[in-house]
């Protein structure tokens, strides 16, 4: 089970990093479009605001995934609970979010995994 928990942690960190990349691209895209001269019917400040909001939402989605993945690798109980919550919310992100969420739930609800996180010797 330790290997499965480590794999889940790494996968959540990768998904979180992907969301951070999307947040950066959203910011660059909207700020870039706002710099185009003579953009008809759209205020450049509105485009910048949309870019800030979109990148902030994606960034806030990425943070619990990265922090939870890091905590899972270090066998922290709070990370197991955080990733279970994130997994439940990711069920609707078809297909990859759903697959990772189901895999995470199966492994993290397993009684052997629960015991692994409750052992005082495994916590670092």
Q: Give the pLDDT of residue 121.
A: 56
66 CB-side CA count, 13 A: 12
Q: Give the pLDDT of residue 90.
A: 92
**Sequence-distant contacts of 86-93: CB under 8 A, at least 24 apart:** 86/12
Closest to 17 in 3D by CA, of 53, 54, 70 = 70
Q: What is the pTM of this model?
A: 0.85
| pLDDT per residue rounded down to tens, the chain (124 residues) | 889 999 999 999 999 999 999 999 999 998 888 888 876 677 888 888 999 999 999 999 999 999 999 999 999 999 999 999 999 999 998 899 899 999 999 999 999 998 888 876 554 4
Q: Give the pLDDT of residue 6.
A: 95
* Residue 36 DSSP class: S
Q: Give the pLDDT of residue 123.
A: 47
């Amino acid at each position: 089970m330790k290997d499965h928990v480590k794999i889940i942690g790494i996968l959540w960190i990768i998904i979180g990093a992907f969301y951070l990349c999307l947040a950066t691209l959203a910011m660059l895209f909207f700020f870039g479009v706002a710099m185009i001269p003579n953009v008809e019917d759209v205020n450049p400040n509105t485009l910048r605001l949309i870019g800030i909001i979109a990148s902030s939402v994606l960034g806030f989605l990425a943070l619990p995934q990265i922090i939870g993945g890091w905590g899972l690798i270090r066998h922290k109980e709070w990370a197991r609970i955080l990733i279970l919550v994130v997994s439940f919310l990711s069920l609707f992100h078809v297909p990859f979010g759903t697959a990772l969420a189901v895999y995470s739930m199966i492994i993290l609800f397993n009684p052997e995994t629960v015991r692994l996180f409750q052992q005082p010797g495994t916590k670092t």
